[in-house]
């Protein structure tokens, strides 16, 4: 069977339009996506509260307060650990200056670039303080606005979920209502399972990194264990980033090579345990996306939506696969995205 060139061009053009729309509508879609995924996470709690003859408005607001309480707890723990870290700020600054001087001397000895020339290059490359302040204030304002929108979408999606569901049924042919029901149930289940599994995974990573870093003797081991665990929300990249930050901090503090090697070995062992034991048990087989398209989803997510895109890439790709699984014409794409199954013909 041949695929005509015209059909291929049309599909590629449609894909380009979709990606373009995702990029230009990111200010709308990012908070909406986060709010929708959080609403799916709290949906069982909301349903349980409503089963006690409590109104949906009160149930939705209780879910919101629970979510805010969880955020407050995480911020409190991190704030406490950061305050401990700042107590050693003077020592860290001194070590950083010494490391910087060593780097400058190395550049001078090997590249014959004087210290004054290095300072001129750095000065030309660094943005002005006014630009830094403007960027920080703009980012803070954007984050605050987006956070308020996420909370609003979170509450209203819980509040009007039946209304939205009825709308989807109205635009779906009657013969396909059961299929639409399956899609909605599967989407809610996948979102809930992914987020609860991710939460359990982060907790286990806190324990494993905390034990490993404490045994190695890293200062502020609990802080870096929490950091490495939280960065798990970005698959593959997160744990590596956390480990690199831990290595840099240990190196600045004058850690011995055996300690640096211990950090790397700990990361490798924890990754093996996570990949081969915990992920199949906790995340489960429902989020079936093969590693190739996991990486593609992460790259596209970062290109289109930045850091939020990295966080949302996996759950949104899993939701896309659900839709493809239930639409006949899209089932080949679900097969392409999904995990590779054993085939006797291979």
Per-residue model confidence as pLDDT tens digits over 222-233: 888 888 888 887
Mark whether 277 and 222 lie in a shared domain.
yes
Same structural domain for residues 48 and 149?
Answer: yes
- Look at residue 133 in the predicted model and tell me its pLDDT: 59
Cβ(104)–Cβ(118) below 8 Å: yes
Q: Out of 238, 255, 282, pick the residue that ends a domain.
A: 282
Q: Is 311 among the domain residues?
A: yes
* Average of per-residue pLDDT values in the chain: 80
Task: For 6-62, write each residue's pLDDT tens digit.
Answer: 777 888 888 889 889 989 999 899 999 999 988 988 988 899 999 988 999 999 999
Taking CA 299 as the corner, what is the angle to CA 298 and CA 301, rounded to the nearest 5 degrees?
65
- 118 part of a folded domain: no
pLDDT tens digit string along 274-301? 877 777 677 655 567 777 888 888 889 8
Instruction: List all residues 6 or more positions away from 29 whose beta carbon is below 8 Å from its beta carbon.
Output: 22, 305
Tell whether 116 is covered by a domain: no
Residue 240 has pLDDT above 60, yes or no: yes
% of the chain at pLDDT higher than 70: 77
Average pLDDT over residues 76-102: 67
In a domain, 111, yes or no: no
Range of the domain at 74: 27-104+132-167
In a domain, 124, yes or no: no
Same domain as 141, residue 40: yes
Of 257, 282, 307, the one marking the end of a domain is: 282
Q: Which residues of 331-343 are buried (b: 16+ CB within 10 A; e: fewer)?
A: eeebeebeeeeee
What's the confidence (pLDDT) of residue 1? 46
**Residue at which a domain ends, from 282, 300, 332:** 282
pLDDT bracket for residue 69 (50, 70, 90):
very high
Residue 81 pLDDT > 80: no
- Quote the pLDDT of residue 286: 54
Residues 158 and 268 in one domain: no
Judging by beta carbons within 10 Å of its beta carbon (0-12, 13-18, 19+), is residue 20 exposed, middle or buried? Answer: exposed
Query: Would residue 18 count as lying in a domain?
Result: no
Same structural domain for residues 267 and 292?
Answer: no
Give just the sign of the alpha carbon dihedral 261, 263, 269, 272: negative
Whether 17 is covered by a domain: the verdict is no
Look at residue 315 and tell me whether its pLDDT is greater than 50. yes
Mean pLDDT of 244-251: 82
What value does the CA radius of gyration of the chain take, rounded to a whole number of Å?
Answer: 24
pLDDT value at 161 more than 50: yes
Q: How many structural domains are present in the chain?
A: 3
CA distance 313 to 309: 6
Q: Are residues 329 and 262 in the same domain?
A: no
> What was the pLDDT predicted at 46?
92
- The whole-angstrom separation of Cα 141 and Cα 135 is 10
Q: Choose the weakest-confidence range: 70-84, 125-139, 229-243, 311-325.
A: 125-139
Question: What is the value of pTM for the model shown?
Answer: 0.74
Would you say residue 176 lies in a domain?
no
324: pLDDT strictly greater than 70: yes
């Amino acid at each position: 069977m041949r695929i005509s060139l015209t059909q291929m061009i049309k599909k590629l053009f449609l894909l380009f339009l979709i990606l373009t729309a995702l990029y230009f509508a990111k200010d709308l879609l990012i908070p909406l996506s986060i709010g929708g995924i959080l609403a799916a996470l709290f949906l069982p709690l909301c349903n349980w509260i409503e089963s006690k003859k409590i109104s949906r408005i009160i149930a939705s607001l209780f879910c919101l307060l629970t979510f805010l309480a969880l955020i407050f707890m995480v911020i409190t723990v991190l704030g406490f650990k950061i305050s401990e870290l700042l107590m050693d700020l003077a020592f860290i600054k001194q070590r950083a200056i010494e490391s910087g001087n060593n780097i400058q001397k190395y550049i001078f000895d090997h590249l014959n670039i004087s210290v004054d020339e290095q300072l001129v290059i750095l000065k030309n490359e660094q943005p002005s303080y006014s630009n830094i302040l403007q960027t920080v204030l703009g980012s803070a304002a954007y984050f605050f606005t987006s956070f308020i929108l996420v909370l609003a979408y979170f509450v209203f999606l819980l509040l009007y979920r039946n209304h939205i569901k009825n709308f989807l049924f109205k635009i779906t042919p009657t013969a396909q209502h059961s299929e639409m029901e399956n899609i909605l149930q599967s989407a809610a289940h996948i979102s809930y399972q992914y987020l609860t599994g991710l939460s359990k995974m982060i907790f286990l990573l806190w324990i494993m990194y905390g034990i490993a870093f404490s045994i190695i003797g890293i200062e502020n081991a609990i802080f870096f264990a929490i950091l490495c665990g939280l960065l798990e929300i970005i698959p593959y990249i997160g744990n590596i980033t956390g480990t690199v930050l831990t290595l840099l901090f240990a190196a600045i503090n004058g850690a011995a090579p055996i300690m640096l090697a211990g950090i790397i070995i700990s990361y490798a062992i924890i990754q093996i345990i996570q990949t081969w034991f915990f992920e199949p048990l906790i995340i489960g087989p429902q989020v079936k996306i093969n590693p190739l398209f996991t990486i593609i989803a992460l790259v596209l997510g970062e290109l289109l939506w930045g850091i939020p895109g990295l966080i949302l890439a996996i759950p949104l790709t899993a939701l896309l696969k659900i839709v493809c699984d239930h639409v006949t014409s899209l089932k080949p794409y679900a097969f392409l995205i999904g995990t590779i199954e054993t085939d006797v013909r291979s």
